[in-house]
Structure 1
């Protein structure tokens, strides 16, 4: 499949992340650039919540439910707006959210998003190579299997998605926002789960992320055309966010949440009155924040924690000079947030994971200053503009919060990346103690700071050479930046994306081709057993046949554990055959791969090596894999 052939999937993904949220923003009275820039975080919130509600009322997840959920949200938003108009507001003379954006502001935002989005889209698409290519990583196996389960099973609830690798449980939480969208893209465009995931990854990186950067720039700096154009264009310059998450791991849900984070922070800035002054009545503010919180939690919870941490920093920096109750409310939020991050039981499981430090704290701080955490490509021009923006923000009391959140993110990243101390483990708990996930926060605040740097340079040039219009000077400066960064760093984006997409350690082409033949060899309701480390977990998304083990590891029930350890003995073990019948296993895949060959958990599936054992008939082979039919149990 080529990217041209994937155009319907790309268009479907763009519609999903833009239209529901834009309609809700319109219904709630959000105006101007923010109406579109905030749309993705509203869309994800509405769709992911609809997916949670659907099974509770007996509905399958799909386009009818998605459209119905969006319409209900729009009607509800209109009702909230009507109610808000009746509530007296002490700031009624100020503009509504996004109000005051003229044609120049719109033009700047559109040019910026088109420039940055094009660079990102070209880079990510080139790095992936083909929409049918999937990154052969531990996490990608789960996400592809989970998306296939949502698509074919009709249950997209985050309350049950965790049962994909815990089938013995009735409920198990896992954020399903990404998988709900993939299922809709696949169902709406007619492509498989893998091309749908590739298309959504491109849209998340190239549409959602630049729009979020524009939203935060607009909230912080106001409707200045040059700043908005810079915010959208420079979003392409930092491969740490969210490009690396869409490749490394592969952490697609985390990439989605990180892409939503700048817009979510922008709304919080508006509500707190920390940036360009706009009015949000308490009723609308609560509803908007709830939708955003739902979108972040159901995309990935750690991005909601990032939002909370950065929001508290904004509240403290803004609230302290105001004094009074605002000061004490902001300060009271600090210990609550610290407890949530470091000690709350909510993140007890992720707190148990640990990734060893690979550098020193000073080195990690230096990488953050250069916007190249975890040894990613260094965007020198953007790093310089960010430093300039930081100086300007420090000199403007109204913008010190923007510098504060950038410093806070960098401090947490440097601590986790450069230290194995108890403090680092506590601080990095919600992010799995994984420096890569924290590295992805770099662009969230760096891009608005860089936009501020561009705006400051334009103003300085205008003082020295007052004749050219501001828009002309700004356009010329951004053109210079684009040339200096070789097309807004599209090649760096391609390099980082390809680093993990191009490595084939689980399924070489011949083995993948065997999976492609399974629909003609395995009955529609057949279940395929096999060591998931060797690619058997992917029979669902790649062959539309149910895998016995849909992820590399899991909390498997007793029948699956028995089959995994003793299937080869089925001819002489009636208990194994009983489990085979209960599970519906009809076929087995055997063979080896180079994927995590030293992992001891591979031995949990040693009983699936049935070659030479009685009761199994060879059906097909390809690459390192062989397909067998189970005959030992009268199948």
Structure 2
């Protein structure tokens, strides 16, 4: 199957991840690349929140629901913005800035409060924005290539443990008309009340499925490409634009760097498979940037307080519903922002530039935020037994892995590591208002190391229980900080080259020989306005970044290895080619309304996702009912156990899939599913469709 098969769901997905968010952002007067950059995070929020609200209002989940909800939120935002404008908030702020500038010198101004930089004008398009769009396009193309190469074919299913749940849940949302995170876990909760489950990814996929009707596996992979090649790079660009002040070369570096790290998005396509985490982490950089703008700790002020508070609230909710551990990750990465802001306010008070009473109140507020993070840390986490990942590296090894981008024992990525190191040096050297990034970098380093080496006796559960004690989920966050640092490294290197005395001497010598060409140093020092020379240098530098990032052997090998976690082979972990063949033909033989008995550990649970026919088990981890328990243990004993046929009747089950004994994770549940073993050789079961040694059987025992 060609990758063109994802075109329809991909285009629907584009509309869903941009239009609702753009409606809300535009209502708050955000424009251009800023509006498009923040739109996916806002759209995820609109989708996830509306999916929870809709069933409460008696509304069935449908494509129009998040758009209508976004329109209401946009109207609310518009009215709030109008109210702020009517009160003259913007005019008063401009007056304060002018008065402040007149009464204090530049040094004192920076020392007192770097938040008082003028607000950058927001436009729908500018030459500077064009550079960001070019960078985004480069990153999107590279990421689309790498993601599709990782997945292999649009109809292939991840051969991993969680694939059963995620693909089945996507169809479950559509079949029940309910995408609420308070409902979706009912798929596996049996007769018990379902717990909260992060359903934003499934909600997005369900809308794409409803609008196009293409198969669930194709929709899944279309959504993976959308997240990896569109949402991720545009969110990174928003983050860099709203925290740093990059020159044109640093801006252009963002796209190639977005595709150059193993840790994201490729890691989460290989391990898990962790689709909800993939979505949540792809928009987390936007949350970081908005808070940096709110606390005025960015190199350039691009958002008003009204925008940061109103939009930030919904972005936080969207990240939390996409996956709670992404929200907790965001909170701990924000701690350096809160601490830095507090220290700056204390410094201003000591210098007599602001009121001690005001500073005390501000410090108290920051202390309250830090206490809240500590409180949430103890409750927003899965049960301990849901994780249980053991330490697997030494302290020194884990530090080396982190600092060289050799996560989880994978070979180091030296090219991007060197650029990242240059960016770190640039931050330390300039000591600008984005220095908090180093604090967040240190926080992330600590948690990654803890997940790799910390023992249970040393507090492993408390420190990394939020992430199921799993270092993979933490490793996936590394690029969101390392990519902006790498771009800052390019910015620093180009500025350093342009200001070097040896270059000036070379330029002078070159000019003395009568050349009228534009000098390299002048080109590097030029503004965002393009010239022929700067375009040539930009193309060359971008080419070097693409080559250096994409030809890295660890990245190439990881993409290759990921391919084989999807490719169906005779010994595949979840689905073999014969099993794929049977799944594709189930809806040809099983009437709608009839259920199919499956052994979920063999991949047969995907019968529901692929064919739409109900099954007794949607995932390997589910709560049994008396009926499913009876069938799983005693189906083939129907002649000697009179309770089997009533159980089948209560489940509307008239067919059974036999995928043999090969299970995911090389597990063995032959005792747990003893009633399903050897069905094909048992009276009362009629072969309907067979491929190799696996097949679909009609249950004739109870006729």
Shorter-normalised TM-score: what interval?
A: over 0.9
Q: For 1:460-609, what aligned pairs fall within 5 Å after superposition?
A: 460-464=496-500, 465=503, 466-469=521-524, 470=526, 472=534, 473-486=537-550, 491=556, 494-495=559-560, 497-502=562-567, 504-596=572-664, 599=667, 601=669, 603-609=671-677
Distance 2:664 2:559 in 1: 25
Distance 2:9 2:289 in 1: 29
User: 1:527-563 CA deviation, whole Å, 9 max, x = no partner?
Assistant: 1012111122011111221121111121122222222
Paired position in structure 2 for 1:406:
441
Q: For 1:355-434, what aligned pairs fall within 5 Å after superposition?
A: 355-395=389-429, 396-421=431-456, 422-434=458-470
Q: Which sections of structure 2, spanning at least 5 residues, go unmatched?
A: 98-116, 347-358, 504-520, 529-533
Paired position in structure 2 for 1:174:
197
Paired position in structure 1 for 2:325:
302
3-state DSSP of counterpart to 2:469: coil
User: 1:309-363 CA deviation, whole Å, 9 max, x = no partner?
Assistant: 111222112322222233443344334423432x32x325156521122221211
Q: Which sections of structure 1, spanning at least 5 residues, go unmatched?
A: none
User: 1:380-404 CA deviation, whole Å, 9 max, x = no partner?
Assistant: 1111111111111123141210111
Distance 2:120 2:211 in 1: 33
Distance 1:482 1:626 in 2: 47
How big is the shift at 1:148?
1.2
User: Which shows bigger deviation, 55-64 or 125-134?
Assistant: 55-64
| 8 Å contact kept, 1:559–1:583 | yes
Distance 1:70 1:496 in 2: 40
Paired position in structure 2 for 1:38:
38
How big is the shift at 1:100?
7.1
3-state DSSP of counterpart to 2:93: coil
Distance 1:39 1:529 in 2: 43
Distance 1:597 1:355 in 2: 15
User: Which shows bigger deviation, 97-106 or 124-133?
Assistant: 97-106
TM-score normalised by length of structure 1? 0.94
User: Which shows bigger deviation, 379-388 or 214-223?
Assistant: 214-223
Paired position in structure 2 for 1:628:
697
How big is the shift at 1:98?
6.8
Distance 1:403 1:74 in 2: 35
- Name the CA shift for 1:602/1:156 in 2 (closer, same or farther; >3 Å): farther
Distance 2:123 2:385 in 1: 45
How big is the shift at 1:379?
2.5
Q: For 1:1-400, what aligned pairs fall within 5 Å after superposition?
A: 1-87=1-87, 89=89, 91-92=93-94, 99=122, 103-222=126-245, 224-278=247-301, 280=303, 282-323=305-346, 324-325=359-360, 326-341=362-377, 343-344=378-379, 346-350=380-384, 352-395=386-429, 396-400=431-435
3-state DSSP of counterpart to 2:656: strand
Distance 1:64 1:307 in 2: 30
User: Could you tell me which of 479, 490, 508 is aligned with 1:454?
Assistant: 490
| 8 Å contact kept, 1:30–1:96 | no
Distance 1:605 1:533 in 2: 10
How big is the shift at 1:277?
4.2
Distance 1:620 1:383 in 2: 54
- Name the CA shift for 1:606/1:433 in 2 (closer, same or farther; >3 Å): same
- Name the CA shift for 1:357/1:143 in 2 (closer, same or farther; >3 Å): same
How big is the shift at 1:484?
2.6
User: 1:113-134 CA deviation, whole Å, 9 max, x = no partner?
Assistant: 1111111110111121110001
TM-score normalised by length of structure 2? 0.85
Distance 1:485 1:591 in 2: 42
Distance 2:423 2:67 in 1: 42
Paired position in structure 1 for 2:531:
none
| 8 Å contact kept, 2:160–2:664 | no
3-state DSSP of counterpart to 2:142: helix
- Name the CA shift for 1:309/1:88 in 2 (closer, same or farther; >3 Å): farther
Distance 2:671 2:620 in 1: 12
3-state DSSP of counterpart to 1:357: coil
- Name the CA shift for 1:223/1:95 in 2 (closer, same or farther; >3 Å): farther
How much is the aligned-residue C-alpha RMSD, in angstroms? 2.4
| 8 Å contact kept, 1:123–1:492 | no
User: Which shows bigger deviation, 480-489 or 5-14?
Assistant: 480-489
| 8 Å contact kept, 1:510–1:623 | yes
